[in-house]
Structure 1
Amino acid sequence: MKILLVSANREHSPYPVFPIGLSYLAAPLATAGHELAVLDLCFEQKPETALEERLASFSPALVVVSLRNIDNVTWPGCRSYLAGVREVVSVCRRTARVVVGGSGFSLMPREILAYVDADYGVVGEGEEVLPRLVELIGQGACPSGLPGVLARGADAFQPALPVERIATPDRNLFDVARYQRQGGMANVQTKRGCPFACIYCTYPLLEGRRMRLRPILDIIAEVRALVEDHGVSYIYFVDDIFNYPTEFAEQLCRAMAAERLAINWSAFINPAFMPPGLLDVMLAAGCDAVEYGTESGSPVMLKNLGKAFTVADVREGSRLCRERQVDFAHYILFGGPGETRETILESFSLMDELEPTAIIAMTGIRIFPGTPLHRTALAEGVIDTTTNLLEPVFYISSAVRDELTELVTSEAIKRKNWVVPGLEVNISDAMLEALRMFPVKGPLWKLMKRLGRSRIRPL
């Protein structure tokens, strides 16, 4: 069967992200004997025209649309992507059947399938179930009851089983080099599953709580191919937490160092699992930046947010980075349950003490079904069972709801290493375009030390 794979993501802020989820589907579909083509809408100036042209030239019988995110999870400057996806599906259904999947779709599959009006949806990991769905479609058989598949007009589906052996994504049909040029990095996944309990996080919903580790030799081969076949010089490990399990992270880093690949990289780190020896091995393997998902500098808020570390862990992780002169950033979430003016100022105070390269702060926390935050929002009356969560809805503590934006803006603008996307403190689309003029690979926040005074609407 001729199958067109479409990446619906068009977001470029803070940088365009390679459609790794779709690339994981390419290999099993090709192995099953299907003829594939790819259309990545991220760089298309006229997406609908590009789509119509590809449909006409390739004439697929089936189109698989991957939805990475449903919005930019940023308040108050929120953008929903679903209307654009619905347009894509509408164009494709004129000539082909359409399957929608991806992490964004799996957050609210029934609601999204109904909204975009596709034929089928794949919920969760699709590497194993999608080829089976395609086979049934080709046979004219009904896929009802196939785990992980939701049919148009249906309300129920069976959960898909998690993929036990995570294979290597097939990037050969994609323009990897363009993401390296315009995004500054490629992305690699080393594991799936999250055993932690952050109240807002969707990783346990999407990937399960049981961790599944990729074979280290497979990861090394993937990184080598990115360097040698695609000219990649920087990668970002997209695991929710790179350094857990600690032993696995250390083994991977030692293997990367032994290969002596011409690569630098960064990743998200949990400060509770950062022994000095691990950071040293990471640096030897090419790591040049560390991102901590800290979320708050207040002990009360760390507990309220379900974080698995303490302020002491945050201090120690920061100290290790400063001693080794490696760039590091802390991510902060303001407005969660129990947030007050005092806890917000605690976060600013701790960041002043730690002096990271950058602090990236978000105001308000996007509410997704199935998370503990969703249950809290229902109990507090922030939302009710009829609230449409396809549109971005954010939790903001009642104690700071009226002053959150003013307080965070007034404090962040005093400090040149703070970035607040929703409030446009030290960030805007124009600034991001300008920063990419620098010969930098990796996270843009590494350039914060080159900036002068803080700005609300820079450049």
Structure 2
Amino acid sequence: MQSRGPVLSGLFTDNGLGLLAAYIERAGYKPVIFDYNNTETIRDVAQHGKEGFVKGAVDEIDQFVKQKELSIIGFKAYANGFRDTVSMISQLKHRNPKLKVVIGGPHVGWFGKHILNASTEADYAIIGEAEESLPMLIDSVYKGGTVQDIPNLIYRHGKDLVQNPRKFTKLDDLLHPIYNKEVYRDIESKIFVPVVENSRGCWWNKCSFCAYPLTNGLFRQRPVEQVVAELEHNKNTFGAAFSRLADPSPSPKALHKLVDNLGPEYRLSSFIRTAKGYDFEKLARNFITFFVGVESANHHALKNVLNKTNDPERYLADARKMLSDAERAGISMNVSMIIPSPGETDETMQESIDFILETQPHYFTCLPLGPIPGRPVSEKALEQGESGDLVLKDSHLSEGIFYEVDPLLPHDQWMDPLWYLRVNGELHPNAFEITKELIGQTMEAGIPPSSDEVVLMAYLMNNGLSDVKEENRRQVFDFMMKARASLAEGNFEETEKLKDTINANQGIRWP
């Protein structure tokens, strides 16, 4: 969880944990999910402080381990809260020296073997997908056997760290995540808007900055019949007609086929790629909002720095048409950009802001480039050193693995970046300050920040959103700010009311 407690998006049900539980159960074991990103945690942190909450969580897990005589447990690691994850593992290992601990999640995809250097008492890590790897590892712990053939596994061999070859899950017969209370014990303290996978990986897979090639590999499409079956299962079992699709860049064909097979009662949000061919009038039957990473409106940044496209002029023309067509169809668009990227100037950054002011999407989100280990933009920075447009501090790995950005705090209270970006020819120690000034222009023009999952929550909280753009923006922004204030203040009652209202308007029932 976040260093000071859960954040808004973290209150969503975790489909990844539910999915792994399904594969563990199929292997003959009984999984139990402890998901501390929930509303009860807000009350615990408010009453006992973050340290008191962590101690209580360790006590609870320790008691469960001893009661059930467990031999292995797993932690899902994110950038935010990883220091607490390491601390919890250390405390649990001291109390249970024979207990095996495995770490998974996005943070392992970013840092690979370095995870086990940071968490010296964890035994294993799984990089990328774990549907096959985790049951195999559990078998090796309980039934004996070696770990050399377990795909995606990182483990200790003497003083060395070994990473087994990567393997990616076939999506032809993906199981449904488990959301029952016997397995997902904190499910009723979550906002139940299921995240449903319709593909993995990215069709482009060339962006210099993005983590998807590290974590998800090559693009794989899940059969639309299975996507529909999971959506129908969630609605028939739990009443959940609102869902978020997890695909980072679905094609027009995939989304059109999905809509062809869904009833109008299903309401969705999704990422979307910048491309021609989307029939937004058709998609409006099921989709409320889309999130698109345009990233920049400067040709050099798009092609030569971010490697987002080979044809910036066509790319930006497609983006303009998409935004116009979506608005005409009544679908709101969340546009995201990376400003500044390495080597920008006032003029190039203003090109991107002018694009937003011209196209007037419903919402606009912006952050400076943050280097991810192993990606081309970071590798280039290591090669060029202080002469480059991105300069990494010597501690970018050792401290970067614990670096987090807390969206509940003002920008000036965020951790200092472990990198410098060259802007206007000079290395800048904190590009967040530049981004903050630029966002001021779009905020002044009435374009608030948001994301597709926030729009879904605001829609459910208000039992619908206005068709008038300005009023829609106000509803979403007011919801987001009120929710964030409740979280930042540790206001359990308000956050619980928000969660209960969303789940009630979603029609959630617990079998």
Q: Which residue in the other structure is 1:22 paired with?
A: 17
Q: Which residue in the other structure is 2:442 paired with?
A: 415
- Give the RMSD, CA atoms, in angstroms: 3.4
Q: Which residue in the other structure is 1:75 paired with?
A: none
Deviations 1:42-89 (A, max 9, x none): 122324313422431443423433435223xxxxxxxxx221111221
Deviations 1:412-453 (A, max 9, x none): 324334456xxxxx99xxx99x979953689xx99533469x
d(CA) in 2 for partners of 1:27 and 1:9?
30
Looking at both structures, which has the greater relative contact order when contacts are Cα pairs under 8 Å and sequence separation is at least 6? 2
Q: Which residue in the other structure is 1:275 paired with?
A: 277
C-alpha contact 1:361 1:419 (8 A) present in aligned 2: no
Q: Which residue in the other structure is 1:35 paired with?
A: 30
Q: Which residue in the other structure is 2:56 paired with?
A: 49
d(CA) in 2 for partners of 1:383 and 1:99?
29
d(CA) in 1 for partners of 2:3 and 2:162?
25
What is the 5 A alignment of 1:51-450? 51-57=58-64, 58-71=67-80, 81-93=81-93, 94-95=95-96, 96-116=99-119, 117-152=121-156, 153-165=159-171, 166-172=174-180, 173-174=183-184, 175-176=186-187, 178-180=189-191, 185-196=193-204, 197-209=206-218, 211-242=219-250, 244=251, 246-256=252-262, 259-260=263-264, 262-272=265-275, 274-277=276-279, 279-284=280-285, 286-303=286-303, 304-308=305-309, 310-362=315-367, 364-381=368-385, 382-383=391-392, 387-388=396-397, 389-392=400-403, 393-394=418-419, 396-399=421-424, 401-402=427-428, 404-405=431-432, 407-416=434-443, 417-419=446-448, 438-439=461-462, 448-450=473-475
d(CA) in 1 for partners of 2:86 and 2:431?
34
Deviations 1:171-206 (A, max 9, x none): 22225554336xxx3211111122321111011111
1:90 Cα deviation after fit: 2.1
- Per the normalisation by structure 2, the TM-score is 0.73
Per the alignment, do residues 143 and 441 of structure 1 end up closer, same or farther by CA in structure 2, a change over 3 Å counting?
A: farther
Q: Which has the higher helix share?
A: 2
C-alpha contact 2:102 2:126 (8 A) present in aligned 1: yes
2:92 counterpart letter in structure 1: C
Per the alignment, do residues 408 and 208 of structure 1 end up closer, same or farther by CA in structure 2, a change over 3 Å counting?
A: closer
C-alpha contact 2:199 2:246 (8 A) present in aligned 1: no
Aligned length: 417
C-alpha contact 2:23 2:175 (8 A) present in aligned 1: no
2:89 counterpart letter in structure 1: V
Q: Identity over aligned residues, as a percent?
A: 21
1:64 counterpart letter in structure 2: I
The runs of 5 or more residues in structure 2 that have no matched partner are 45-52, 386-390, 404-417, 486-511
1:333 counterpart letter in structure 2: I
- Per the normalisation by structure 1, the TM-score is 0.81
Per the alignment, do residues 253 and 438 of structure 1 end up closer, same or farther by CA in structure 2, a change over 3 Å counting?
A: closer
C-alpha contact 1:378 1:384 (8 A) present in aligned 2: no
